[in-house]
C-alpha cells in the first residue's frame, strides 16, 4: 500500500496510474465503482497546459 495524506492506495492501482509517492489523487465513487484520477500539479499545468498571451497595441 502507498500512503498519501493518510489515505492508502493499493500498489497495483498506483502502478496502473504510473504514480509513486506524493501525487494528488481524486477518488470518486459511482455506484459500485471507485474511480481514481491523477490531478495535475502546478508544474504539469505549466509544462502541458494551454498557453495564451495577450498583446496590446
Banded pLDDT at 46 (limits 50, 70, 90): confident
Q: Identify the residue whose cell numbers are 489523487.
A: 25
Give the tens place of pLDDT for each residue, 1-31: 444 455 677 778 778 878 777 777 788 899 9
Extract long-range pairs of 31-37: CB within 8 Å, 24+ residues apart. Answer: 36/9
| Count: domains in the chain | 1
DSSP summary character for residue 21: S
Section 27-51 average pLDDT: 83
pTM (two decimals): 0.49
Q: Where in the sequence is the domain holding 39, given as residue range(s)?
A: 2-48
| Confidence at residue 5, expressed as pLDDT on a 0 to 100 scale | 53
Question: In this structure, is residue 10 part of a structural domain?
Answer: yes
| Confidence at residue 2, expressed as pLDDT on a 0 to 100 scale | 46
Question: In this structure, is residue 44 part of a structural domain?
Answer: yes
Signed CA dihedral, 10, 8, 32, 17: sign only: negative
Amino acid at each position: 500500500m502507498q500512503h498519501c495524506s493518510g489515505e492508502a492506495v493499493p500498489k497495483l492501482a498506483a502502478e496502473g496510474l504510473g504514480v509513486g509517492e506524493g501525487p494528488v489523487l481524486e477518488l470518486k465513487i459511482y455506484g459500485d465503482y471507485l474511480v481514481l484520477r491523477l490531478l495535475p500539479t502546478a508544474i504539469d499545468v505549466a509544462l502541458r497546459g494551454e498557453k495564451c498571451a495577450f498583446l496590446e497595441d
